[in-house]
Structure 1
Amino acid sequence: MTRASRAGRTGGRFVAAALTTLLLLLPIGASAAADESAKPVVTLSKAEAGKGGEITVKGTGWRPRALLMMLICGEASPATGVAGGTNSCANADGRAVTTDAEGRFSRTLAVAEPPKPCPCVVHVATVQGQQAAVDAEFKVAGHPVAPLPKPAPNAGRLSVVDRTVRLDGSGSLLTWFGAPQARKVVLEFGNTGSAPVVDPVFQVGTSHGVFAPIWEERQWRGTIAPGKRAEVALDVQLPAGAHGDYLVSVKYGPKVMAAQPWGVDRPWGVVLFWLLLGVVVPAALFRIGMAVVDRVRPGALPLRGRSVARHLTVRRDERDAPEESGRRGADGTATTTATTVLPWFTPDTNPGLPAPTHAQVSAPKPHDHTNPPTSRGNS
């Protein structure tokens, strides 16, 4: 294969790869353009009109078959939105409109003076479903104009998006012995206002039984933009040794946003400790008292250890010592024989004595001259 053919084949592969990449990127660009066109847009037939006049409001890129509300609001701009919410709008002169299958609408709107000074806008927002809002700049002829107020740090309005509240965390070995229980109460908030909420301060309260909750401030670090939502986790802690049924409440401003029950187990380690203490301490006091008595009692031998064993051995030897009985032998001498009489043997069948021989049985007794036998004949 020549060098020219190799170069041609390499160039063809490069062109094919470039075309493939271009074809892959075309859907991405088309989808991006579709996303841009899908954003809600509002246009006005007039940029300025006086009270009593009419303007035509048109919109594209909205959700199909969506219900919208159109209002003229003061103290607002497309960049900052309506600072005072619907309280800055001419609500009585508002109009409702429904988009078509392609997300478009067109509706006339009567010009009215809002309760707040201009700059003014035509505020168009969804009523149901996914939230979307667009502000178109508009000037009400003859209406007072004033500078926009500086937004407060927490000018937005927070509301609970999901009523499901959970307590994250668990106890430990220390809490089993009465250490304070600690958890994180987690719930999801959404900003329904037109200004971002920066580092909001909440109040977390815990109540037990019929008692009122004890509130503590908890600051959440973060920013919730208008129309956005965020998961907020706040610390909550009970006093040491707490047990039973508690209620954890979260309050933002004057309103209680959510509440969650919390069942806390009894610290059984403390109960076990007191039981052991009630057994060990009396036993230790008893041993100390017996030791003091043994040392203080005069003339008493300490009855412990080897002394006890020795004392019992001596008493047993004295009790088991055989009894000595005296007898006279054939020659008249006295002999001493140790006899052990058991209660279940008679003296004649005592296994402890040697059996008598035949000679001893048949031998006559010696005649005693000092005590002659007496005849019991007829006198």
Structure 2
Amino acid sequence: MLVLTPTAPATAVGPSVRLSQTQAGTGGSITVSGSGWRSHALLMLLVCGQSAPSRGVLGGTNSCANADGRAVTTDADGRFSRVLPVTEPPVPCPCVVHVATVTGAKAQADAVLRVAGHPVRPLPARTDGGRLSVLTDIRLDGSSGVLTWFGAPPSRTLVLTVGNVGSDPVTDPVFRVGISHGVFAPQWDEQQWRGTLAPGGKARIRLPVELSAGAHGDYTVSLAYGGRVLGEQPWGVGRPWGVTLFWILLCVVVPVAVFRIGMAAVDRVRPHRPHRSRRSRGLRRAHRGRPAGRTSPARPPWLRRGDRTDAPHAPDAPHAPDAPDAPEASYATGAAAAGPGPTSTLPWFTPDSAPGTAAGRLSAPHDDNPASPTTPVTKGPT
């Protein structure tokens, strides 16, 4: 006959850490193993000072050798094994190997480690008379302004309600606010709240939180008191697109300014062509309009534009036989109408045959008597 004996249910065991050696010197290494962790969880292994398994890491990750830490992922059964180099922490011992989860639900465990050659100081006295407990959910109040869009430091206010569940009053408690980005460990900052909480009393706590300039991405704000984390709150910060817009405009404006400066420099150093007046341009157009082989005589210096257009023709001046000689006739008429003054002879007349003199009138050719071109013209009765 087979008799079945009921067995006691297995008790839930929390996460644990074991070390291959409990004492090692700087420069050596130890093997850290653990069990009871969440499956496929990412863990961080650190050597921390001023710590004890019963009290945790009093100074937070600022008391740990963060540069020489190691990361490990648990298997499907929640186990892991990792070689960790032994490094002196930035604060005196007692020292521990601190193992904590990076993402997901928070879990941590410590194992005592003696670092050979590192100084040891006793832990501060522990006071258990007053204990604070969070009564409401932690939240972040505030919003981003226009300056944050251009890279100003984002800021929020951490708001929570705490109560004193101990037997002694708590005066001016010091909270530790940690900010972590992604998988990195939080950076802790101590902030003191001014006031006294009597046993059984509660108070509204408001603590400022600020990130660095230009920060963006997913952050986690943690609040700790007395070596215990009271709560966490996620914080998503948008990208400062105003900074991106500024750099785009800078990449456009600077090349344009350099191009304009270069063009101004080229315009200064290149040789300039001589300036042409309107009068010279008009004469060039007039010469282009004349028939080939015929050129107009040089213009006398005393002849002006008004004289050529407004002066009357001499009554006895002969008319030019063809149209292209009209400018020559107008030059002669203008010289005759100039009136009294210094007499000048045009280059195509002799001194005694100018149109304005008596000899010139007598010797001027006439169309009415081609046979005697030098016969003077007979005028009628006056």
TM-score interval, smaller chain: 0.3 to 0.5
- The structure where strand makes up a greater share of residues is 1
Higher-helix-fraction structure? 1
TM normalised by structure 1 equals: 0.40
